[in-house]
């Protein structure tokens, strides 16, 4: 590819349950620090959750926050942080050539539940319904709040791709750059899932909501004692640029995005299809021009559900079973499932490995499920390796949407 076609990541902004920036997040992962805790939620009492603790008012006013949403607040925080880390001065660029592409799993549920709870206190008198409800609940809200708050005038929209949405946001940003629709793309994903009792209740009714006496041990992908998902909130937005433009402005280049793929199971609403998962990973590898053995780390999607973990492990064995120097890990074991932000946070947590050659562990793997056996699964303690040139990041979602993104250590 020419430098105009090559896509690089130059800035990362994130909010996670165990870190409010990339350095803090990476430090927690390497130290084995979980971000899962407990919270009270409507009608269900105490539940396990991954909650972000960042300064909502660092980049927006209290009035902005009252009018907007938690997802929008997370997105603004991540976008401003990413632009700052990439050295992008919006006053020095064409704002109409900057785009925002935020993946989401769900949006509007939290605000609707809140309004219904409010009018319930007034005998369901709809005159108490907020006039902010419509702009809060439209699907493009998180990306739109970023656009308004930061005065970004290029295209903005969200990509609804269930729990593959974080990867989908990155892919959309890369595609818009290659189409020359934008010069700078903010791509990634956000989620305010912990604000909705309905999300917790639905997973509970599916017998897929994690329980554990110790919250930090509740998220247990690949472990035979896993009993479900820990619902989390979070966000991650990356600054993506064409390599030619990044070089012109002397941008700090974190890595290069070299391959990606999305496909559909076309089979079951909730049970992954290992054949399609395998095809998705192989297509991403083909587009990156590499072999499975070239991959240093596979960041898994596994959510700690019975069949989900098993089906992904099957696909991984087919693609990477003969790769002696490919290591496998899982970030959800630390932070739970951040839904639309999951994929991008999981990729962000592994990017440090391109430089320090340390693979963060999958924690809470006390009794590995033999049905989930995967070669070189890094368990409970971080592992130093000889080199990491490529990372493949898996992210799958309900209704059978699958994604894989591959990044490369930048060497010029």
**What pLDDT digit, counting tens, does each position of 172-195 carry?**
999 999 999 999 999 999 999 999
Q: What is the pLDDT of residue 29?
A: 98
Nearest alpha-carbon partner for 105 in 392, 301, 337, 350: 337
Report CA Rg, the chain.
Answer: 20
Please say if 207 is a catalytic residue. Answer: no
- CB of 15 within 8 A of CB of 72? no
Please tell me whether the overall predicted TM-score, pTM, comes out greater than 0.95 for this model: yes
Exposure string for 26-64, b = 16+ CB within 10 A, e = fewer: bebbbebebbbbebebeeeeebbbbbbebebeebbeeeb
Please say if 156 is a catalytic residue.
Answer: no
Strand-pairing partners, residue 358, are 384
Catalytic residue among 301, 323, 360, 372: 301
Please tell me which residue in 107, 156, 212, 337 is annotated as part of the active site. 337
Taking 70 as the pLDDT cut, the residues of the chain under it are none
Q: What is the pLDDT of residue 1?
A: 86
Domains of the chain by range and CATH? Answer: 7-248 (3.40.47.10), 259-408 (3.40.47.10)
From CA 18, how far away is CA 295, in angstroms rounded? 27
> Each residue of 359-381: pLDDT tens digit?
999 999 999 999 999 999 999 99
Residue 212 appears among annotated catalytic residues: no
């Amino acid at each position: 590819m020419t430098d105009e076609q090559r896509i690089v990541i130059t800035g990362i902004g994130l909010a996670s349950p165990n870190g409010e920036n990339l350095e803090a997040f990476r430090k927690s992962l390497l130290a084995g620090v979980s971000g899962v805790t407990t919270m009270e939620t409507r009608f269900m009492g105490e539940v396990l959750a991954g909650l972000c603790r960042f300064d909502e008012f660092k980049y927006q006013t209290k009035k902005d926050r009252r009018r907007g949403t938690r997802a929008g607040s997370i997105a603004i925080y991540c976008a401003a942080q990413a632009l700052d880390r990439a050295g992008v001065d919006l006053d020095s660029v064409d704002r109409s050539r900057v785009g925002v592409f935020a993946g989401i799993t769900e949006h509007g549920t939290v605000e609707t539940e809140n309004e219904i709870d409010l009018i319930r206190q007034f005998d369901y008198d709809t005159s108490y319904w907020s006039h902010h409800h419509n702009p809060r609940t439209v699907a493009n809200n998180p990306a739109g709040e970023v656009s308004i708050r930061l005065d970004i005038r290029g295209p903005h929209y969200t990509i609804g791709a269930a729990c593959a949405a974080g990867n989908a946001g990155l892919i959309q940003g890369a595609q818009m750059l290659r189409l020359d629709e934008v010069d700078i793309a903010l791509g990634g994903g956000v989620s305010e899932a912990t604000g909705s009792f309905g999300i917790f209740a639905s997973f509970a009714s599916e017998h897929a909501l994690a329980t554990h006496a110790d919250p930090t041990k509740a998220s247990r992908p690949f472990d035979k004692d896993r009993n479900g998902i820990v619902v989390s909130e979070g966000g991650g937005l990356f600054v993506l640029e064409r390599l030619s433009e990044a070089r012109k402005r002397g941008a700090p280049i974190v890595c290069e995005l070299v391959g990606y793929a999305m496909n559909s199971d076309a089979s079951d609403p909730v049970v992954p299809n290992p054949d399609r998962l395998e095809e998705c990973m192989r297509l991403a590898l083909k587009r990156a021009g590499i072999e499975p053995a070239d991959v240093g780390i596979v960041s898994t999607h596994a959510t700690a559900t019975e069949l989900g973990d098993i089906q992904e492990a099957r696909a991984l064995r087919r693609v990477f079973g003969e790769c002696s120097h490919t290591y496998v890990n899982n970030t959800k074991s630390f932070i739970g499932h951040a839904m639309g932000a999951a994929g991008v946070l999981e990729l962000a947590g592994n990017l440090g490995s391109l430089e320090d050659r340390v693979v963060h562990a999958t924690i809470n793997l006390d009794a590995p499920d033999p049905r989930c056996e995967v070669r070189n699964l890094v368990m409970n303690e971080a592992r130093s390796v000889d080199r990491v040139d490529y990372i493949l990041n898996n992210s799958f979602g309900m209704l059978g949407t699958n994604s894989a993104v591959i990044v490369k250590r930048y060497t010029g």
